[in-house]
Amino acid sequence: MINLETISAKVRACQRITPDEALFLFSSGDLLAVGELAALANERRNGKNVYFNVNRHINPTNVCVNRCAFCAFSRTAGEDGAYTMALDEICRRAREADDEGATEVHIVGGLHPDLAFEFYEEALRAIRHTAPSLHVKAFTAVEIEYFSRISGLTIEQVLQRLMAAGLGSMPGGGAEILVEEVRRKICPEKISGERWLEIIRTAHLAGLKTNATMLYGHVENTADRVAHMEMLRTLQDETGGFQAFIPLAFQPENSALKLDITGTSGVDDLKTLAIARIFLDNFDHIKAYWIMLGEKIAQVSLAFGVNDLDGTVVEEKIGHDAGAQTPQALTKEGIIRLIRKADKIPVERDTLYHPIRSF
Ligand code: V47
Ligand code: SF4
């Protein structure tokens, strides 16, 4: 019999919960009980420390051949609002980030029909030349697969070439919901969930750390969310290459997904983050992406199992094109204040979670 008491006993005894138990937690009306278990699981791993990093996002192009139904960021080539940065624009942003104390640039973009693979290699080399100490976290599994298609190289060769040019790790985007039935509805042109996992496995085996995201709050149901997390948990058992899990709350404006929804609720956000913390017992870090959640829910999530707050960001396009009402950037001081007021210890980290300084 599954109930809160049996799940609670398991979490307290550091035992793994089953997908059915995670599903039960989603159906539970007792948000605080779920949050308390998540907070316990988190404190065992991370104490009162909450990580943040000083980073800048760069999206070199919004031109994309996939045109996923949920994405308000992408454009078709030649369409109004389509843009592609020149190498020196990408570099200027990286240099600014470096000058302003960032330790990381986070680079993702659309699948451009005309840019060659060498453009991306060149961009990495140019950034390394301009700001050698910046860590470059770049390209989702979806982009890596596209680079392999346009270059004729294998996934391993693409990764080796990018690493030689300066790639340090990979973000977790493109995962959406890994269940095929959901992908058919929200991103039919995108690589399959199975292929996403295969590319991430290859990256982990090549020595790259990655993150994993989950886009929730659209057509999926809670069983899809649990199935998604189970696939990640299984791969993490195998490779240990995931650093953080990042649930992304769907921003519904301007997308082709004609849903009669106003975005996720605060309760759903907190519950999803908390269940992720409990279910993903082999992930060290559960990250709140304040851009999609709002600063206040992101802050409250620190009492619901979250131990990582992303980031200074500086210039955000993907969520804001889809109607996110959050600012474009938080200052380092702003993040420190949010964490302190949640009665936690702010720890600035680098991309690979080495602490730089506690506040
Ligand atoms: O893959 C697109 C998502 C992702 C919308 O790894 C949307 O550290 C909400 O992956 N509403 C890109 N989400 C962002 C991303 C990310 C962000 C922060 C940190 C990290 C990390 C990764 O954004 C896409 C897609 O899943 N997305 N459109 C939308 N309307
Ligand atoms: Fe392209 Fe990524 Fe947007 Fe899909 S989510 S349309 S792959 S930029």
Give the model confidence (pLDDT) of 28-52 as tens digits.
Answer: 999 999 999 999 999 999 999 999 9
Q: What pLDDT is stored for residue 304 in this prediction? A: 98
| Nearest ligand 2 atom, CA 64 | 1
Is 251 in contact with 292 (CB distance < 8 Å)? Answer: yes
Please write the tens of the pLDDT for every residue from 56-75: 999 999 999 999 999 999 99
Nearest CA to ligand 2 atom 2: 110
Is residue 125 pLDDT above 90, yes or no? yes
| Nearest ligand 1 atom, CA 321 | 30
Q: What pLDDT is stored for residue 315 in this prediction? A: 85
Mean pLDDT, the chain, as a whole number?
A: 96
Q: What pLDDT is stored for residue 38 in this prediction? A: 98
Mean pLDDT of 258-262: 72
Mean pLDDT of 216-235: 97
From 58, 61, 111, the mutation candidate for ligand 2 (largest count of ligand atoms within 8 A of CB) is: 111
Whose CA is closest to 241, among 249, 233, 251?
A: 233
Mean pLDDT of 93-116: 96
Q: What pLDDT is stored for residue 255 in this prediction? A: 85
Q: What pLDDT is stored for residue 325 in this prediction? A: 87
Q: Is the CB of 199 under 6 A from ligand 2?
A: no
Structure confidence at residue 314 as a pLDDT band (50, 70, 90): confident
Q: Is the CB of 59 under 6 A from ligand 2?
A: no
Mean pLDDT of 140-159: 98
Q: Is the CB of 328 under 6 A from ligand 2?
A: no
Q: Is the CB of 142 under 6 A from ligand 2?
A: yes
Mean pLDDT of 218-236: 97
Is residue 351 pLDDT above 80, yes or no? yes
All residues at 6 or more sequence positions from 148 whose CB lies less than 8 Å from its CB, including other chains: 154, 155, 157, 158
CATH numbers and ranges of domains, the chain: 49-218+230-265+280-293+307-358 (3.20.20.70)
Q: Is the CB of 263 under 6 A from ligand 1?
A: no
Please write the tens of the pLDDT for every residue from 13-24: 999 999 999 999
Please write the tens of the pLDDT for every residue from 176-202: 999 999 999 999 999 999 999 999 999
Q: What pLDDT is stored for residue 98 in this prediction? A: 96
Q: Is the CB of 292 under 6 A from ligand 1?
A: yes
Q: Is the CB of 68 under 6 A from ligand 2?
A: yes
Percent of the chain with pLDDT over 70: 99
Q: Tell me how far the alpha carbon of residue 147 is from its chain's centroid.
A: 20
Compute CA distances 84 → 75, 109, 212, 219, whole Å: 11, 9, 26, 31
Q: What pLDDT is stored for residue 318 in this prediction? A: 86
Q: What pLDDT is stored for residue 327 in this prediction? A: 86
Ligand 1: centre distance to CA 89 (Å):
22
Ligand 2: centre distance to CA 67 (Å):
6
